[in-house]
């Protein structure tokens, strides 16, 4: 039986959040979900920075809060994490603003559909029929099934 | 490499602060007088170039650390000015001038100029910074400015490229941040000069290597995956190169000096 200290659990949680965010970024096919995954990963990163200065027995680094000479938590990472949180929120706000523009331009945030519509737009601009790209192999090109997309098609809903 | 504040003829924060100030002044100024707003950007960039040239003359490229707000190195933030930093710092306004959007007009000109000035400010800061967390902050600032510049054409495709770039870059800088957190846990300092001193002893293990790898990947994402921009890649390419140079010059070298016999 491995004894789990509080710090081990916290570190595992922080790194776990980053990993969950990374998987979400890679595996999701919806742009909004990717932005959400990014914010999960950023939360993990921020927890990791706070943990960099954390000591179990120490008190908050506030002047006059504890008796002089008491061990304090390192205040530098807390100042850093404040900056990191603000930067993260700013970047996410920018991402959502860009998502709104993408939705207005293409009417979807689903990646597969989005790529299809973009390619359609490109072929239209080039003046060739939509499915006649010279780069496409002859015949059908099967795509791996995407559950969300399949259920949309099965229900006859335009994704 | 002294942390003493020398009697500077030119304050090295000026080439960072001036374009930043101009970037935020530009939009209101464009409402008042458009011709004035059009010349403000180039004037500021030329002034920055001149200031950096003066810095070079004043010190002959000898490396100097300058504490901002007269807080010394372990707690305060320093600017580290040496020959290669000045070279990058002078390249940034020069390239920005070369790629200045002379031909666009109206409100879009003000917007583009402001973003470009923001980029110049942040990349100059990146070049001159001597603190690894400050590098992260300037790097994010440069990233946000370049996101804006990528969307300048305002087509659907530009937005899709921006979001792809934004997600990759944001995750990359998150990795860099995790690397910085590990670095701080291990060494207790963020100052590059101090890091290079303590790195051989404290970072000579798997954790140090992991933090370096995370930062390299994180900061490297941006250099490799630039998508659709048509007229800033050169300005922009200086940023990751400089970060890599800073990292390689300080942390990496120190690591390898230790790893080699």
Number of domains in chain A: 2
Q: How far is B244 from A143, CA to CA, in rounded Å?
A: 39
Residue in chain A nearest B165 by alpha carbon = A95
Which is nearest to A18 in space by CA: B240, B170, B160?
B170
- Inform me whether the pLDDT recorded for A40 exceeds 70: yes
pLDDT digits (tens, 9 = 90+) for A104-138: 888 888 888 888 888 788 778 777 776 655 555 55
Claim to verify: residue A20 and residue A93 sit in the same structural domain? yes
Give pTM, 2 decimals. 0.76
Residue A93 confidence (pLDDT): 93
Which tokens in the block code for residue A6? 């509080």
Claim to verify: residue A120 and residue A104 sit in the same structural domain? no
Residue A95 confidence (pLDDT): 93
Name the residue range of residue A149's domain.
111-159
Which tokens in the block code for residue A12? 């595992």
Residue in chain A nearest B154 by alpha carbon = A101
Domain boundary among A70, A86, A109: A109
Q: Smallest CA–CA separation between B217 and chain A, in Å?
A: 14
The answer to which of A60-64, A66-70, B197-201, B244-248 has the lowest mean pLDDT is B244-248
- Inform me whether the pLDDT recorded for B178 exceeds 50: yes
pLDDT digits (tens, 9 = 90+) for A82-112: 999 999 999 999 999 999 998 988 888 888 8
Q: How far is B238 from B95, CA to CA, in rounded Å?
A: 10
Please state, for a pLDDT cut of 70, what percent of chain B lies above it.
64
**β-bridge mates for residue B129, sequence order:** B79
Claim to verify: residue A31 and residue A89 sit in the same structural domain? yes
In this structure, what CATH number is given to the domain that contains residue A84? Answer: 1.10.287.3510
Claim to verify: residue A133 and residue A69 sit in the same structural domain? no
Q: How far is B147 from B163, CA to CA, in rounded Å?
A: 8
Neighbours of A51 (CB within 10 A): 18
Residue B254 confidence (pLDDT): 37
- Determine, for residues B143 and A91 on separate chains, whether the beta-carbon distance falls below 8 Å: yes
The helix (H) or strand (E) run that includes residue B65 is strand B64-67
Claim to verify: residue A44 and residue A72 sit in the same structural domain? yes
Claim to verify: residue A105 and residue A46 sit in the same structural domain? yes
pLDDT digits (tens, 9 = 90+) for A130-152: 665 555 555 566 665 555 555 55
Residue B177 confidence (pLDDT): 87
Residue B232 confidence (pLDDT): 35
Q: How far is B174 from B154, CA to CA, in rounded Å?
A: 27
Residue A42 confidence (pLDDT): 92
The helix (H) or strand (E) run that includes residue B4 is none
- Determine, for residues A35 and B167 on separate chains, whether the beta-carbon distance falls below 8 Å: yes
Asked if the C-beta of B160 comes within 8 angstroms of chain A's C-beta atoms, the answer is yes
- Over residues B8-18, mean pLDDT: 74
Residue B158 confidence (pLDDT): 74
Claim to verify: residue A73 and residue A105 sit in the same structural domain? yes
- Determine, for residues B181 and A48 on separate chains, whether the beta-carbon distance falls below 8 Å: yes
Of the two residues A132 and B251, the one the predictor is more confident about is: A132
Claim to verify: residue A34 and residue A91 sit in the same structural domain? yes
Claim to verify: residue A122 and residue A48 sit in the same structural domain? no
* Spans of all domains in chain B: 1-130, 132-261
Contact in structure between B113 and B41 (CB atoms under 8 Å):
yes
Q: How far is B90 from B50, CA to CA, in rounded Å?
A: 9
Q: How far is B218 from B215, CA to CA, in rounded Å?
A: 5
Q: Smallest CA–CA separation between B204 and chain A, in Å?
A: 18
Residue B202 confidence (pLDDT): 65
Of the two residues B139 and A47, the one the predictor is more confident about is: A47
Residue A120 confidence (pLDDT): 82
Residue B89 confidence (pLDDT): 75
Residue B3 confidence (pLDDT): 41
* A135 contacts: CB under 8 Å, gap ≥ 6: none
- The DSSP result for chain A, as a single string, is -----HHHHHHHHHHHHHHHHHHHHHH--BHHHHHHHHHHHHHHHHHHHHHHT--TT-B---TTTS-TT--B--HHHHHHHHHHHHHHHHHHHHHHHHHHHHHHHHS--BHHHHHHHHHHHHHHHHTS-TT--TTSPSS--PPPP-HHHHHHHHTT---
pLDDT digits (tens, 9 = 90+) for B19-77: 888 888 888 888 888 788 788 888 888 888 888 888 878 776 666 777 766 666 566 67
Claim to verify: residue A52 and residue A64 sit in the same structural domain? yes
Return the DSSP state at B70.
G
Asked if the C-beta of B43 comes within 8 angstroms of chain A's C-beta atoms, the answer is no
Residue B76 confidence (pLDDT): 65
- Determine, for residues B156 and A95 on separate chains, whether the beta-carbon distance falls below 8 Å: no
Across chain B, mean pLDDT equals 70
- Over residues B195-208, mean pLDDT: 69
- Inform me whether the pLDDT recorded for B125 exceeds 70: yes
Residue A99 confidence (pLDDT): 93
Return the DSSP state at B62.
-
A83: left (phi over 0), alpha (psi -120 to 50) or beta: alpha
Nearest to A98 among B136, B159, B181 (CB): B159
Claim to verify: residue A19 and residue A69 sit in the same structural domain? yes
pLDDT band for position A8 (cuts 50, 70, 90): confident
Claim to verify: residue A94 and residue A45 sit in the same structural domain? yes
Residue B224 confidence (pLDDT): 45
């Amino acid at each position: 039986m491995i004894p789990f200290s509080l710090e081990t659990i916290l570190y595992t949680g922080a790194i776990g959040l980053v990993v969950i965010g990374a998987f979400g970024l890679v595996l999701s096919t919806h742009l909004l979900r990717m932005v959400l995954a990014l914010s999960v990963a950023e939360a993990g990163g921020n927890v990791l920075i706070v943990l960099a200065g954390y000591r179990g027995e120490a008190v908050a680094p506030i002047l006059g809060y504890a008796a002089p000479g008491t061990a304090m938590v390192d205040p530098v990472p807390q100042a850093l994490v404040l900056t990191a949180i603000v930067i993260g929120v700013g970047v996410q706000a920018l991402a959502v603003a860009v998502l709104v523009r993408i939705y207005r331009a293409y009417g979807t945030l689903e990646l597969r559909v989005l790529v299809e519509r973009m390619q359609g737009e490109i072929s239209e601009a080039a003046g060739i029929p939509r499915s006649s790209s010279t780069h496409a192999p002859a015949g059908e090109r099967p795509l791996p099934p995407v559950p969300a997309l399949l259920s949309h098609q099965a229900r006859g809903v335009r994704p | 490499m002294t942390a003493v504040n020398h009697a500077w003829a030119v304050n090295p924060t000026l080439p960072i602060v001036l374009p930043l100030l101009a970037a935020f002044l530009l939009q209101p100024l464009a409402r008042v007088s458009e011709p004035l707003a059009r010349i403000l950007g180039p004037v500021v960039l030329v002034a920055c170039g001149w200031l950096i040239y003066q810095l070079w003359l004043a010190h002959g490229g000898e490396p100097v650390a300058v504490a901002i707000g007269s807080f010394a190195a372990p707690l305060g933030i320093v600017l580290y000015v040496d020959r290669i930093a000045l070279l990058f710092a002078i390249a940034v306004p020069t390239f920005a001038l070369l790629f200045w959007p002379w031909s666009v007009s109206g409100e879009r000109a003000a917007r583009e100029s402001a973003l470009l000035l923001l980029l110049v400010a942040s990349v100059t800061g990146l070049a001159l910074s001597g603190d690894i967390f400050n590098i992260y902050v300037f790097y994010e600032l440069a990233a946000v400015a370049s996101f804006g510049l990528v969307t300048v054409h305002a087509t659907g495709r530009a937005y899709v490229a921006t979001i792809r770039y934004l997600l990759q870059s944001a995750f990359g800088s998150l990795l860099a941040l995790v690397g910085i957190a590990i670095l701080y846990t291990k060494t207790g300092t963020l100052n590059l000069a101090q890091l290079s001193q303590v790195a051989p002893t404290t970072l000579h293990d798997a954790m140090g290597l992991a933090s370096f790898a995370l930062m390299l990947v994180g900061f490297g994402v941006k250099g490799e995956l630039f998508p659709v921009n048509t007229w800033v890649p050169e300005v922009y390419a200086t940023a990751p190169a400089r970060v890599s140079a800073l990292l390689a010059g300080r942390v990496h070298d120190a690591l390898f000096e230790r790893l080699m016999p």
